[in-house]
Amino acid sequence: MQGSANLNLMMKAARKAARGLIKDFREVENLQVSSKGAGDFVSRADIAAEKALQGELLGARPNYGWLGEETGETAGTDPTRRWIVDPLDGTTNFLHGLPHWAISIALEHKGEVVAGVIYDPTKDEMFWAEQGVGAFLNDRRIRVSGRRRMIECLFATGVPFGNRNGLAETLQDLARLMPACAGVRRWGAAALDLAYVAAGRVDGFWERSLNPWDIGAGLILVREAGGFVEPIDPATRVMETGSVIAGNTEVFPTFAGIIRGS
């Protein structure tokens, strides 16, 4: 299955940035034993990956706008189109030598994400979706799971750490959800959590206060895979607040009700 020219460009850019990140990831293990640690090295790897993505994406589409985790926002001469990019989602995993991180690229047109790519280089898994085309993992079409019983469902989330806000709410969510389901996973990469919902590996995902680059590509993947995506607060917009619930169509109403405390 082939996507559009823009989608092919996104995949090419992701693979190019991945080559540098894989090389850097192999170095992380060596740095773990040093007194300075790998933190500064990983920050440089992150920035280098975003520059590689910028070179590919803006090199081919110089009139598009840009929103990147490291480089911030730049308006394009075409005000209707914008790249939304996270060069390394799952930085903490990367820093600890855990092979669970990804590159996320979304293309927004007139405020709506119309194409998304999430690439996991350590597993060579390219998740991609385009509006009206469907969602795919490499060359295989993917769909959200068909599970109907909450007690059989597996969910993913992020748990706030350090000085981040939202820990109390997440612990309340877990207290309500855990007795009703088969388990909750906290893998540390929101883009891959959403990709896994799209692929049916988990039945739902929720998290608060994410950034547009964390979720842009994942939202279209879930929708094109036949799933539901909504803001936690129905009066808001997901890309503005970064608070999201995603899941398969069968359990979504029950799952969303639990998370919303309704």
CATH number at residue 18: 3.30.540.10
Residue 145 belongs to a domain: no
What does the pLDDT read at residue 42?
A: 77
Going from the C-alpha of 110 to that of each of 76, 231, 238, the distances in angstroms are: 13, 19, 16
Residue 234 belongs to a domain: yes
What does the pLDDT read at residue 37?
A: 59
Assess whether 24 and 52 both reside in one domain.
yes
Assess whether 133 and 156 both reside in one domain.
no
Domain boundary, last residue among 110, 140, 170: 140
Assess whether 112 and 183 both reside in one domain.
no
Domain boundary, last residue among 140, 160, 181: 140
Domain boundary, last residue among 116, 140, 164: 140
Assess whether 22 and 97 both reside in one domain.
yes
* Cβ atoms 46, 88 nearer than 8 A: yes
Assess whether 16 and 90 both reside in one domain.
yes
Q: Which domain holds residue 121?
A: 5-140
What does the pLDDT read at residue 31?
A: 66
Q: What is d(CA 180, CA 150) in angstroms, rounded to the nearest whole number?
A: 6
What does the pLDDT read at residue 163?
A: 81
What does the pLDDT read at residue 164?
A: 85
Q: What is d(CA 85, CA 104) in angstroms, rounded to the nearest whole number?
A: 6
Residue 140 Cα to chain centre, angstroms: 19
Eight-class DSSP state of 209: S
What does the pLDDT read at residue 149?
A: 98
Residue 81 belongs to a domain: yes
Number of separate domains in the chain: 2
Assess whether 133 and 155 both reside in one domain.
no
Q: Rounded to the nearest 10 degrees, what angle do helices 5-31 and 39-60 cross at?
A: 170
Mapped to the 3 state alphabet, what secondary structure does 153-176 carry? CEEEECCCCCCCCCHHHHHHHHHH
Rounded to the nearest 10°, the torsion over CA 56, 62, 64, 67 is: 50
What does the pLDDT read at residue 119?
A: 98
Low-confidence ranges of the chain (pLDDT < 70): 1-2, 30-39
Assess whether 70 and 181 both reside in one domain.
no
260: nearest Cα among 215, 204, 216? 204
Residue 188 Cα to chain centre, angstroms: 10
What does the pLDDT read at residue 39?
A: 66
> What pTM was computed for the model?
0.95
What does the pLDDT read at residue 2?
A: 60
